[in-house]
Structure 1
């Protein structure tokens, strides 16, 4: 049974994904400012020096430059208490440098799962598993 808190948290996560799908860094950055705590703890390894909300802005800047048509489809959302779990399918076309790889023009489709902890209606902590192997295989870096 959903509570007002879990319903609000699920909608906040959906709003975050919609902003990412816009491909507009101004919209993405503004949404991060509104729905993410500045000191958010990101428990997924990311190749960035920055931390908190600034790291998310930089990460999504890299992703939107590499995959300008990036789209996140939420397949499942489960919420309990202060946590929301989201299983997603991500698609995009490799049009910019990504992880040292020049643009290939190849499409990618990969899965990801995130657990997001909320505090006061904002994202406070994240854990994620992203299928980087599938990305690299589809981009031709890893033999398929």
Structure 2
């Protein structure tokens, strides 16, 4: 049995950073159709949680010319949706990004609903509407 065989017997080959994120998008959709795992605002990016037994790392070059040593996982379940601020805090412990201030969870879910409807994703749109309804009920 290969060292990269998952306990579910699903074979996971070593992949690039870009392929890992493409796999997450294919399995879970765009990050902006989710709420941030940390603050509850609309997410913008997929963020690797760390600790995956199949973790990979290497130097990654970005289209804008920067490169960085990063870690990633071939397992889409090892990622959480986060806003840019919380992603930066999670990955680098950065707290220098401005706090966007108070927000209304219904507004965040309405943005997610709108984005899902634009893509024709009725399942995510329904989930967003259900979160709006439950948020409205819990605050009234």
TM over 0.5: no
* Larger helix share, 1 or 2: 2
* Larger strand share, 1 or 2: 1
State TM-score, norm by structure 1: 0.30
State TM-score, norm by structure 2: 0.30
